Amino acid sequence: MRSFLGKRAIASGVSLLGLIVLVFFLSRLTGDPTNLYLPLDASTEAREQFREMHGFNDPLIVQFGRYVADLAQLNFGQSLRQARPAMEVVIEAFGWTLCLAAVTMTIVTVSAIVIGSLAAFRVGGIFDRMATFFSLVGASAPDFWLAIVAIVIFAVNLHWLPTSGTGSVAHWILPVSVLFIRPFGLILQVVRGSMINVLSSAYVKTARAKGVRSRSIIFVHGLRNAMLPVITVIGDQAASILNGAVVVETVFGFPGIGKLMIDSILLRDFTVVLAVIMVSALAIFIMNLLIDLAYAMLDPRIRY
């Protein structure tokens, strides 16, 4: 287990380093931040002073060396836009996204598992039809469209819910609902398929021959076996929300990491972009680790 963890950490660390190098140099290609931060009529001296202050005059390689040296002391640099430590900005936004992801994925997982299992138990029944309908809708409706339509209907026309922000529970309903649809459809289908497989397995036949009740066959004998492929997809979907549900966060003005990322790229706030990438990478690393642990927990045959 320990060597497994070590190997994983090293592999992830190496790819993270590569990513930092790539992003550091590529983001510089987008242009000079000076033009965005100073007024159009700012004097040449002022511009020069701005560049000097933030070190943009040095050769790129020197800038990179300085960045890495700071990084080694866990100094992630200052945000240009907000004039405070980049990491502070990122962690604040990440907290919001984490909440959003946790709430959404909990609702998605519970409902997809219950409806998907019942759909698999009676193929062609009411739950099965619901499952097929929702997954089709989920897969085909683009989220930016859903988000805008939802705002038009529920916020603008009906005045039931606010359009954006995070003040109360009501603020969360629309973003969570829109984020819910796609992973729900996807996970539902995986649960259903996996469960149909499991329910036709030999050990379920044994359970029926034992006289085990249907509910117990589905949720005790079936579900634990059916969960293995499902967990992979859940982790994958959770990671994609954690990485920034860019569209949904932007449309609903949600102060999460996706919105921060877009804003920072547009405003060439390089240190924040890099910090976002590092936090996301860490989140995905932890996510994958949790998936592996969940595998081992569910299936005694899997050991690391």
Partner 1 sequence: MADHLLEVKDLSVEFHTAAGTVKAVQNVSWHLDRGETLAILGESGSGKSVSASAVMNLIDMPPGKITSGTILLDGRDMLKMTPEERRAINGAKIAMIFQDPLAHLNPVYQVGWQIAEMMTTHGESAENAKSRARDLLKRVGIPDPDAAMRKYPFQFSGGQRQRLMIAMALACKPDILIADEPTTALDVTIQAQVLALLDELQQETGMGMLLITHDLGVVAEIADRVVVMNAGNIVETGDAAEVYRNPKHAYTRKLIDAAPGKGEMPDERDRSGAPLLRAVGLEKNYGAFQALKGVDLTIMPGETVAVVGESGSGKSTLARAILRLDDPDSGKVLYNDRDLLTISDKELFGLRRDLQMVFQDPTQSLNPRMTVFQLISEAWVIHPSILPKPQWKERVAELLVKVGLRPEMASRYPHQFSGGQRQRIAIARALAMEPKLIVCDEAVSALDVSIQAQVIELLDGLRREFGLSYLFIAHDLPVVRDFADRVIVMRAGEIVEEGPVRQIFEAPRQPYTQALLAASLDPDPVVQAARRDARQQQKGLMPA
Q: Give the interface with partner 1 as residue ranges (CB under 8 A).
A: 201-203, 205-213, 216, 221, 224-225, 298-301
Closer CB to partner 1, residue 30 or residue 214?
Answer: 214
Rounded Cα distance between 110 and 259, Å, is 27
Nearest approach, Cβ of residue 274 and partner 1 (Å): 43
User: Residues 83, 85, 86, CA angle at the centre, nearest 5°?
Assistant: 95
Encoded amino acid at 246, one letter = V
Closer CB to partner 1, residue 130 or residue 298?
Answer: 298
3 state DSSP class of 78: strand
Closer CB to partner 1, residue 158 or residue 202?
Answer: 202
Closer CB to partner 1, residue 144 or residue 295?
Answer: 295
Nearest approach, Cβ of residue 190 and partner 1 (Å): 18
Structure tokens given for 159: 């005045």
Rounded Cα distance between 234 and 184, Å, is 9
Rounded Cα distance between 194 and 120, Å, is 9
Rounded Cα distance between 82 and 271, Å, is 11
Nearest approach, Cβ of residue 196 and partner 1 (Å): 12
Nearest approach, Cβ of residue 220 and partner 1 (Å): 8
Closer CB to partner 1, residue 167 or residue 300?
Answer: 300
Nearest approach, Cβ of residue 195 and partner 1 (Å): 14
In terms of Cα–Cα distance, which of 223, 230, 231, 220 is closest to 198?
223
Rounded Cα distance between 166 and 93, Å, is 12
